Amino acid sequence: MNILDGKKVSNDIKNEIAEIVTKMKAKGEKVPHLAAVLVGENGASLTYVNSKVKSCERIGFDSTLVKLDADITEEKLLAEIEKLNTNDAIDGFIVQLPLPKHIDEQKILLAVNPDKDVDGFHPTNFGKMALDMPSFIPATPFGIIELLERYKVETSGKHCVVIGRSHIVGRPMSILMSRKGFPGDATVTLTHSRTQNLEAITKEADIVISALGVPNFLKANMVKEGAVIIDVGITRVTDSEAPRGYRIVGDVDYNEVAPKSSYITPVPGGVGPMTIAMLLKNTLLARSRHNQA
Amino acid sequence: MNILDGKKVSNDIKNEIAEIVTKMKAKGEKVPHLAAVLVGENGASLTYVNSKVKSCERIGFDSTLVKLDADITEEKLLAEIEKLNTNDAIDGFIVQLPLPKHIDEQKILLAVNPDKDVDGFHPTNFGKMALDMPSFIPATPFGIIELLERYKVETSGKHCVVIGRSHIVGRPMSILMSRKGFPGDATVTLTHSRTQNLEAITKEADIVISALGVPNFLKANMVKEGAVIIDVGITRVTDSEAPRGYRIVGDVDYNEVAPKSSYITPVPGGVGPMTIAMLLKNTLLARSRHNQA
């Protein structure tokens, strides 16, 4: 059993990017600039956004946090996005989800300039990904691909079962794993809430990618010996003994499943830390594309 | 065994659209207008394009055929596309593929205004489809969905195996079958040239959609009793006794497989005729969207 160490790899990536940024600075080039839009005061969102801004600082990116009131109108939010779209200083930006209920999330995501959409959530980037064109790939799936690549996990011809068809993980993951090339070329089965006999399907899988959000859902009897296990679940479970009052628990019953697996991502320290690293990678990519344009 | 009669259904759809167009005319409204761009003199392409134009005439659409020399420069072709993009009289248009080799197909498809992209090949439409937003769905997959819908073939929770990961059939089909709703909600496995043990996978399928292009590939021993069989293959096979010197042969060995199936599409007369019908449906949709705008 080998651990796919997302914490280590994400640090490696951040260090690699920091080195590139140092060289950019030495040459007098503009460094990448990421902006994050945060609407309201949702605790988890604030934590995520702050962590993204901090990562930017650490690796030498410029960053801007646009904090907006929870009761901002859709119209005004669209105007803020248009400012970021047209501000040449900003290479890429994200709109932290979820948004307050009075705002149409889809409308907001469609308003983001696809060339600055470092979250890869805009349909134009999503479509390019599905059609094998260069694009911004959503950070979590991109992080999983990067882990598989760096650990040289064989994927060609393997049967990969993805659990969950969300727009930000399951769906893009199923597309990426079945694209041509490495990591990819897998035979992919996308499963979801309507799937029958899920256990029989996961048991056949060479690679299981679980993005369900149900703690400890995947048990040892649901996977075959030697399978690669990718756990995207990050559910907060109350734990009075934990310093923050909760623990992060994955979809995979790690203690049971790990001994049977060939490779496995722990939670925390697996897929989670990769997400920010890939967001930074997308921002660097946005910067270099703008340089070329 | 029931036949999914694409010839009949496509005629039904054309008649339904013709009725709508008659009403539009009666109200003095502008009728849908489809343009087709044909570069060069490729025989099959000419046949397809002419057939599309004829279908437009039959149901009362306006149509325009833009015929361009095979040696047109990419720049001039892009200028022609820009003309169609900005011509308010045209609701939707298609660029008949393949294009001559000196032209970058991807660049051309990206130049088509997504709001007029009735082929659904632009990444923005593709991404919207994958993200469950309203969009133009590529005609062949759209036709298969329509067939399943009209024949009320159950898809929820069924295991659907798609053979082939092409941009115009296999990939979009795999997405559509696993989207929420009907037809959809299937557990979908996308298989392709790198897939191992394909036979074992198709044997488990409740629904097989084959878009491989290998005549008579799918045999009776590869499918289970009662499966739904969708044959997207249309390979021309030389046949001196056929009036045109060739026959169209599907991926499915029909004589063997049909008796085992619950539903099956014949070739010809199954998926093929649906494609033009759905192109017309997309054009009607483009017209009504422009009316709303």
Residue B166 and residue B253 share a domain: yes
Query: Is residue A136 less than 8 Å (CB to CB) from chain B?
Result: no
| Residue in B closest to A169 by C-alpha | B131
Inter-axis angle of helices B271-292 and B6-26, nearest 10: 20
Yes or no, beta carbons of A178 and B188 under 8 Å apart:
no
Residue B220 lies in a domain: yes
> What does the alpha-carbon distance between residue B176 and residue B147 come to, in Å, rounded to a whole number?
13
Query: Is residue B133 less than 8 Å (CB to CB) from chain A?
Result: yes
Greatest alpha-carbon pair distance for chain B in Å reads: 59
Residue A123 lies in a domain: no
Instruction: Decide: B4 and B265 in contact? Cβ < 8 Å.
Output: yes
Residue B42 lies in a domain: yes
| Distance of residue B18 Cα from the nearest chain A Cα, in angstroms | 32
Residue B92: CATH number of its domain:
3.40.50.10860
> What does the alpha-carbon distance between residue B160 and residue B147 come to, in Å, rounded to a whole number?
15
Instruction: Decide: A33 and A90 in contact? Cβ < 8 Å.
Output: yes
Cβ atoms within 10 Å, residue A22: 13
Query: Is residue B97 less than 8 Å (CB to CB) from chain A?
Result: no
- Name every chain A residue with its beta carbon within 8 A of the beta carbon of B175: 130, 171, 175
- Out of A113, A148, A167, a domain closes at A113
Residue A289 has pLDDT above 90, yes or no: no
> What does the alpha-carbon distance between residue B218 and residue B229 come to, in Å, rounded to a whole number?
10
Nearest-by-Cβ selection for B131 from A126, A186, A194:
A126
Average pLDDT, chain A: 96
Q: Using omega within 30 degrees of 0 as the cis cutoff, is the peptide bond preceding A183 cis?
A: yes
- Name every chain A residue with its beta carbon within 8 A of the beta carbon of B166: none
Half-sphere exposure of A147 toward its Cβ, with a 13 Å CA cutoff? 34
| Distance of residue B106 Cα from the nearest chain A Cα, in angstroms | 9
Provide the sign of the torsion angle of the four alpha carbons B91, B34, B150, B177, taken in this order. Answer: negative
Query: Is residue B33 less than 8 Å (CB to CB) from chain A?
Result: no
Tokens of A228: 């690669």
Residue B11 lies in a domain: no
Which residues of A are known to be catalytic?
Answer: 52, 96, 119
Residue B105 and residue B65 share a domain: yes
Q: For residue A218, what is the DSSP state?
A: B
> What does the alpha-carbon distance between residue A5 and residue B250 come to, in Å, rounded to a whole number?
47
Residue B148 and residue B96 share a domain: no
Residue A12 lies in a domain: no
Residue A101 lies in a domain: yes
| Distance of residue B131 Cα from the nearest chain A Cα, in angstroms | 6
Yes or no, beta carbons of A192 and B187 under 8 Å apart:
yes
Query: Is residue B283 less than 8 Å (CB to CB) from chain A?
Result: no
Query: Is residue B175 less than 8 Å (CB to CB) from chain A?
Result: yes
Residue A290 has pLDDT above 80, yes or no: no
| Distance of residue A39 Cα from the nearest chain B Cα, in angstroms | 23
Residue B95 and residue B36 share a domain: yes
Catalytic residue among B119, B206, B231, B251: B119
Domain count, chain B: 2
Residue B260 and residue B164 share a domain: yes
Q: What is the mean pLDDT of residues A79-107?
A: 97
- Name every chain A residue with its beta carbon within 8 A of the beta carbon of B125: 123, 127
Using pLDDT thresholds of 50, 70 and 90, give the confidence band for residue A292: low
Nearest Cα to Cα of residue A52 among A100, A109, A118, A115: A118
Residue B42 has pLDDT above 90, yes or no: no
Yes or no, beta carbons of A127 and B127 under 8 Å apart:
yes
| Residue in B closest to A191 by C-alpha | B187
Provide the sign of the torsion angle of the four alpha carbons A14, A20, A24, A30, taken in this order. Answer: negative
What are the pLDDT digits (tens) for B68-121? 999 999 999 999 999 999 999 999 999 999 999 999 999 999 999 999 999 999
Cβ atoms within 10 Å, residue B197: 12
Yes or no, beta carbons of A123 and B124 under 8 Å apart:
yes
Taking only Cα atoms into account, the Rg of chain A, rounded to an integer number of angstroms, comes to 19
Q: For residue B68, what is the DSSP state?
A: E
Residue A144 and residue A106 share a domain: no
Yes or no, beta carbons of B127 and A124 under 8 Å apart:
yes
Residue B146 and residue B222 share a domain: yes
- Return the bridge partners of A252, or none: A218
How big is the A-B interface in CB pairs under 8 Å?
A: 111
What are the pLDDT digits (tens) for B172-190? 999 999 999 999 999 999 9
| Residue in A closest to B185 by C-alpha | A194
Q: What is the mean pLDDT of residues B197-218?
A: 97
Query: Is residue B106 less than 8 Å (CB to CB) from chain A?
Result: yes
Instruction: Decide: B203 and B223 in contact? Cβ < 8 Å.
Output: yes
Residue B292 has pLDDT above 80, yes or no: no
Yes or no, beta carbons of A175 and B178 under 8 Å apart:
no
Output the pLDDT for position B289: 84
Instruction: Please state the pTM of the whole predicted model.
Output: 0.96
Cβ atoms within 10 Å, residue B217: 18
- Name every chain A residue with its beta carbon within 8 A of the beta carbon of B186: 194
Query: Is residue A43 less than 8 Å (CB to CB) from chain B?
Result: no
What b/e string do you get for A187-212 counting C-beta neighbours within 10 Å, with b at 16 or more? Answer: bbbbbbebbeebeebbebbbbbbbbb
Query: Is residue B292 less than 8 Å (CB to CB) from chain A?
Result: no
Nearest-by-Cβ selection for A127 from B125, B190, B191:
B125
Residue B97 lies in a domain: yes
Can you tell me which residue has the tokens 């649906």? B274
Name the 3-class secondary structure at A246. Answer: strand
Yes or no, beta carbons of A185 and B194 under 8 Å apart:
yes
Query: Is residue A97 less than 8 Å (CB to CB) from chain B?
Result: no
> What does the alpha-carbon distance between residue A159 and residue A202 come to, in Å, rounded to a whole number?
10
Residue A174 and residue A61 share a domain: no
What are the pLDDT digits (tens) for A118-168? 999 999 999 999 999 999 999 999 999 999 999 999 999 999 999 999 999
Q: How far is CA A139 from CA A107, B83, B218, in A?
A: 21, 38, 39
Which helix (H) or strand (E) element contains residue B135? none
Cβ atoms within 10 Å, residue B133: 16
Which helix (H) or strand (E) element contains residue B154? none
Using pLDDT thresholds of 50, 70 and 90, give the confidence band for residue B290: confident
Instruction: Decide: B272 and B144 in contact? Cβ < 8 Å.
Output: no
> What does the alpha-carbon distance between residue B3 and residue B252 come to, in Å, rounded to a whole number?
14
Cβ atoms within 10 Å, residue B149: 14
Nearest-by-Cβ selection for B123 from A124, A174, A201:
A124
- Domain around B253: 139-273
- Name every chain B residue with its beta carbon within 8 A of the beta carbon of A131: 123, 126, 167, 171
Residue A1 lies in a domain: no
Instruction: Decide: A70 and A46 in contact? Cβ < 8 Å.
Output: no
What is the interface pTM, i.e. ipTM, of the complex? 0.95
What are the pLDDT digits (tens) for B116-127? 999 999 999 999
| Distance of residue B236 Cα from the nearest chain A Cα, in angstroms | 27
CA B272 to chain centre: 8
| Residue in A closest to B161 by C-alpha | A189
Residue A217 and residue A143 share a domain: yes
Instruction: Decide: A267 and A232 in contact? Cβ < 8 Å.
Output: no
- Residues 6 or more apart whose CB falls under 8 angstroms from that of B238 comprise B245, B246
Residue A155 and residue A81 share a domain: no
Residue B218: CATH number of its domain:
3.40.50.720
Nearest-by-Cβ selection for A187 from B122, B159, B195:
B195
Using pLDDT thresholds of 50, 70 and 90, give the confidence band for residue B293: low
Using pLDDT thresholds of 50, 70 and 90, give the confidence band for residue A44: confident
Output the pLDDT for position B102: 97
Output the pLDDT for position B104: 96
Residue B190 and residue B108 share a domain: no
Higher pLDDT, B47 or A5: A5
Query: Is residue A3 less than 8 Å (CB to CB) from chain B?
Result: no
Tokens of A50: 């702050």
Instruction: Decide: A230 and A265 in contact? Cβ < 8 Å.
Output: yes
Residue A291 has pLDDT above 90, yes or no: no
Query: Is residue B199 less than 8 Å (CB to CB) from chain A?
Result: no
| Residue in A closest to B163 by C-alpha | A187
Name the 3-class secondary structure at B162. Answer: strand
Q: What ranges in chain A are assigned the alpha helix state H?
A: 6-26, 43-59, 74-86, 105-111, 123-130, 139-150, 170-178, 198-202, 254-257, 271-292
Q: What is the mean pLDDT of residues A247-267?
A: 97
What are the pLDDT digits (tens) for B144-159? 999 999 999 999 999 9
Inter-axis angle of helices B170-178 and B123-130, nearest 10: 30
What are the pLDDT digits (tens) for B224-275? 999 999 999 999 999 999 998 999 999 999 999 999 999 999 999 999 999 9
> What does the alpha-carbon distance between residue B148 and residue B155 come to, in Å, rounded to a whole number?
8
B25 part of the active site:
no
Residue A155 and residue A89 share a domain: no
